[in-house]
Amino acid sequence: MNRQEQERSGDPSNAVERMYEYGYRKSNYGPDELVTDAHGNPISVVDAMMKADQASRVKTSTPHLCYYSPRIPGNTGSAIRLCAVTGTILHLIEPLGFNLKDTKLRRAGLDYHDMAHVVLHPDFDDLVRSMPDSRIIAFTAHADKLYTEVSYRPDDILLFGPEPGDIPDPMEIMAGPHVAEQVRLPMRPSLRSLNLTNCASIAIYEAWRQLGFQGGR
């Protein structure tokens, strides 16, 4: 079968090839036009995700990562790839500031199998109920303790609040009764903030280092 015959056959892998250029979705394709798995088969993004009860049973080598009400799709896309390469599970707490099919989720856009490391929760209480034995460690500029002063465990949850940095952390969540520790990353005085997923990367790799980079190479 030649290329024209393949295109006429409706093979979804051909549609995927036309959609992407240099690993990113072309601008003339809408966010909901086609979502595929690693083999080019159409799927639902939510179907590609892990369920909360599954995440609570998975044995991990790094703590879980949680974004509370993330608003910038590119940050969450980068976090999905971070979690895929480190074996971390990413928990997203609704409401989100974007559609999960947004084209700006570029790091997840081409490899939807990476979404298998993602859990979507309708609210923070759902996360707490699904992971009752986990410590929640909140990363906030209001903390006194540095992130390096914690001995991390694989079942910990590293909690980050919404971006951008000029929006205050939701302190009823970041300092709520379910939070075991509040920690911060050091910064030079008077500077506003570090990118959300840059912060998460630093935290995940410090925790993974403490745990001997188990599962890595």
Residue 7 placed within a domain: no
Task: pLDDT band for 31, please (50, 70, 90 cuts).
Answer: very low
When mean pLDDT is compared across 3-17, 112-126, 179-193, the lowest value belongs to 3-17
Closest CA to 43 of 119, 125, 112, 92: 112
Task: pLDDT band for 37, please (50, 70, 90 cuts).
Answer: low
Q: What percent of the chain has pLDDT over 90?
A: 49
Residue 29 placed within a domain: no
Give the residue-averaged pLDDT of 25-37.
51
**Model pLDDT, residue 48:** 74
146-186 pLDDT, tens digit each: 999 999 999 999 999 988 655 667 888 999 999 999 999 99
Contact 81, 115 (CB under 8 A): no
Count structural domains, the chain: 1
**Model pLDDT, residue 146:** 98
Contact 189, 144 (CB under 8 A): no
Residue 190, both tokens: 């008077």
Ligand-binding site membership of 161 (annotated): yes
Residue 181 placed within a domain: yes
**Model pLDDT, residue 22:** 43
**Model pLDDT, residue 105:** 66
Residue 24 placed within a domain: no
CATH number of the domain enclosing 91: 3.40.1280.10
Q: Does an H or E element contain 156, and which?
A: none
User: What's the half-sphere exposure (Cβ side, CA atoms, 13 Å) at 191?
Assistant: 8
Domain that holds residue 153: 52-211
Q: Is the pLDDT of residue 7 over 60?
A: no
Q: Is the pLDDT of residue 64 over 90?
A: yes
Residue 34 placed within a domain: no
Q: How many CB atoms neighbour CB 28 within 10 A?
A: 7
Residue 18 placed within a domain: no
Q: How many CB atoms neighbour CB 118 within 10 A?
A: 25
**pTM recorded for the entire structure:** 0.78
Residue 204 placed within a domain: yes
Ligand-binding site membership of 193 (annotated): yes
| Burial 65-90, CB ≥16 within 10 A → b, else e | bbbbbbbbbbbbbbbbbbbbebbbbb
**Residue given tokens 């703590």 in the structure block:** 63
Which among 51-55, 159-163, 198-202 has the top mean pLDDT? Answer: 198-202
Closest CA to 33 of 10, 25, 4: 25
Residue 177 placed within a domain: yes
